[in-house]
Amino acid sequence: MNKTQVSTVTYFVLLGFPGPWKIQITLFSLILLVYSMTLTGNMAIICAVRWNHQLHTPMYMFLANFSFLEIWYVTCTVPNMLVHFLSESKIISFPGCFTQFYFFFSLGITECFFLCAMAYNRYLAICFPLHYPSIMTRQFCVTLVSLCWIIGFSGHLIPIFFISQLSFCGPNIIDHFLCDVDPLMALSCTPTATIRRVFYSGSTLIIVLTSLYILGSYTLVLRAVLRVPSSEGRQKAFSTCGSHLLVVSLFYGTIMVMYVIPTSGNSAAMHKIITLIYSVVTPALNPFIYSLRNKDMKYALQHVFFGKRIRGNS
């Protein structure tokens, strides 16, 4: 085909979850409910940490920043998805698609590094309790938080830029509810093998290294906890670390299926379901996971929602 005859794609059509109108309304209602829970739960954690001076510690500082991240992580995809449930066109512009693509992956990478920072914080607190206050200072916390954001938003900047420079000459239909890497590169009319390898190599490296770091940190934490003579002390340490490990398992379990383990044989529907779990469902569960077994956080959240007086530590 002559280059002058190639029509450039100016927008994409996100198929989302096709089906009858009643199914679209049902899905819209469910996703809206989950999105509302995510915003409410994570905003409540941010407010609880900000308003309760007992929670002005490194652990809760990381948790508040993590909740702030989760709000933006769901917001970069869910509002657009909700609009498409009620729309017949389901159109997203070319710049809008790649903007969503960039923020979705950048926030995902940032979450990986935040989970690492939170694991490191638990490791220092449990394995080096005497040195912890002098190491994990407020300034050091701010530095770690800043590094998580900087690395997260620069990690995939170059590969995503080159993907956006590929030629898209039609068709322009993406069988997904967001602009993901595989559906986008499948629509390109230029070779994508090299850039695909670079993108997936970078993703795999980040996911594997951060997951191994978290696993290593908690192996050392477990060894230290088992040496604690008090059963109450062991239970408190396990409770705090258990919440974080559950969040890690939910997040890494799904993203590894998508971006580390080959999934070319899986259907588009399966890809959508897996993506929905880690991008929409998991951020909604995190506030419950972090607060249900944490007495300090439960009392602080009672103050946020009901105006109850904050009780002392027990």
The set of residues, in sequence order, having a beta carbon less than 8 Å from that of 99 and lying 6+ positions away, is none
Task: Indicate if the pLDDT at residue 231 is higher than 90.
Answer: no
CA–CA gap between residue 160 and residue 105 (Å, rounded): 9
* Residue 300 C-beta-side C-alpha neighbours within 13 Å: 27
Residue 147 amino acid letter: L
Burial label for 229, CB within 10 Å (0-12, 13-18, 19+), is exposed
Q: Where are the domains of the chain?
A: 10-306
Q: Could you tell me the pTM of the whole model?
A: 0.87
Residue 30 amino acid letter: L
pLDDT of residue 30: 95
Provide DSSP, 197-266: HHHHHHHHHHHHHHHHHHHHHHHHHHHHHHT-S-HHHHHHHHHHHHHHHHHHHHHHHHHHHHHTS--TTS
Please compute the mean of the pLDDT values over residues 20-44 and round it to a whole number. Answer: 93
Burial 300-311 (b: 16+ CB within 10 A, else e): bbebbeeeeebe
pLDDT of residue 258: 79
CATH of domain 10-306: 1.20.1070.10
Q: What is the pLDDT of residues 169-216, one digit of tens each?
A: 878 899 999 998 888 888 888 878 888 888 888 888 999 999 999 999
Task: Indicate if the pLDDT at residue 1 is higher than 50.
Answer: no
pLDDT of residue 264: 54
Strands 11-14 and 173-174: parallel
Q: Residue 4's pLDDT band (boundaries 50, 70, 90)?
A: very low
Task: Indicate if the pLDDT at residue 302 is higher than 80.
Answer: no
Q: What is the pLDDT of residues 155-179, one digit of tens each?
A: 888 889 988 888 888 788 999 999 9
Among the listed residues 125, 129, 1, 16, the one whose alpha carbon sits nearest the alpha carbon of residue 80: 16
Main-chain dihedrals φ then ψ at residue 253, nearest 5 degrees: -60, -40
Q: Residue 236's pLDDT band (boundaries 50, 70, 90)?
A: low
Please compute the mean of the pLDDT values over residues 87-108 and round it to a whole number. Answer: 92
Task: Indicate if the pLDDT at residue 277 is higher than 70.
Answer: yes
Strand order in the sheet with 91-93: 91-93, 11-14, 173-174
Q: Residue 52's pLDDT band (boundaries 50, 70, 90)?
A: confident
Residue 103 amino acid letter: F
Please compute the mean of the pLDDT values over residues 253-273 and round it to a whole number. Answer: 75
Mean predicted lDDT score pLDDT of the chain: 85
Q: What is the pLDDT of residues 128-153, one digit of tens each?
A: 889 999 999 999 999 999 999 999 99
DSSP state, residue 279: I
The set of residues, in sequence order, having a beta carbon less than 8 Å from that of 196 and lying 6+ positions away, is 181, 185
Give the distance, in angstroms, between the CA of residue 277 and the centroid of all CA atoms in the same chain: 10
Burial label for 230, CB within 10 Å (0-12, 13-18, 19+), is exposed
| Radius of gyration over every alpha carbon of the chain, rounded to an integer in angstroms | 22
Provide the token pair at 94.
């070319």
pLDDT of residue 193: 83
Identify the helix (H) or strand (E) that includes residue 93: strand 91-93
The answer to whether residues 287 and 42 touch, using CB atoms and an 8 Å cutoff, is yes
